[in-house]
Structure 1
């Protein structure tokens, strides 16, 4: 299966760069990646583009910006980001696997809600680089913030480090 991601996700990462470092930051990123244009929201692109943007962030700005970018993307990804502000974390989590499959053509996401006040997100065949793992950690943290939920997020398994999947565990109040 081809690894593709919607242009809206790529544009959200570029918007993050624009907010943090201005138009010059976006131009530098695109130039370093050999690109001359932004992406079209409704079209799909090779996931390597997303990975390369995350690598660029880590290499030129610092590793912590991959996580910060993930948090920004989940908070600013169109109508979904607006709607999430009106739901609780439980509803958001239950819809997450379907929402994932609408913007990515690869991998699989499952959610384990079997423990009280604990959520385990499992991403199968999603992350290939450490910066992507950091970005998903940011996505989970951003989702907590958007739903005004207090909690802690940690990566408990990592495909990149040899586990069978990536897992992010959320303990919340």
Structure 2
């Protein structure tokens, strides 16, 4: 009898746990993220050693968001369904810099993440911005600079591009004209 009661209680607990589901902090949600800036042009000549391009993403909610496997692409990569290689950046699980004691992969409420397309060391700056880096190979874009190369095909010389972020099955994009300076907001 005791064995059956314990089995029934275990079943109730498992059903309850399944109904309540994970907290918002454990659920990846593209709706919570916005592209707030795109640094599409390094100061000086485009080269592998001078690549300061980045896409800035902000958590616009009051809850942490799991950003593991967040994918960044430009129009060229998106148009070719490229999720790895040139003109892409996938945030690996555990790569997001977090404060001591914070949960891995969780971008805090209101926090900003900069995904750099050049070399650097991941960290959190004094203003709380999280920085992660992926060094693009020289063959990607123009000497590894990918966010100011325009679309391809008949419009390949157009002065515009689009940055995409994808998390799970949801995506957001921001188009910009890169003939007006260095950073699109």
> If the length of structure 1 is used for normalisation, what is the TM-score?
0.28
Q: Write 1 or 2 for the structure with the bigger share of strand.
A: 2
Indicate the structure (1 or 2) with the bigger Cα radius of gyration. Answer: 2
Q: Write 1 or 2 for the structure with the bigger share of helix.
A: 1
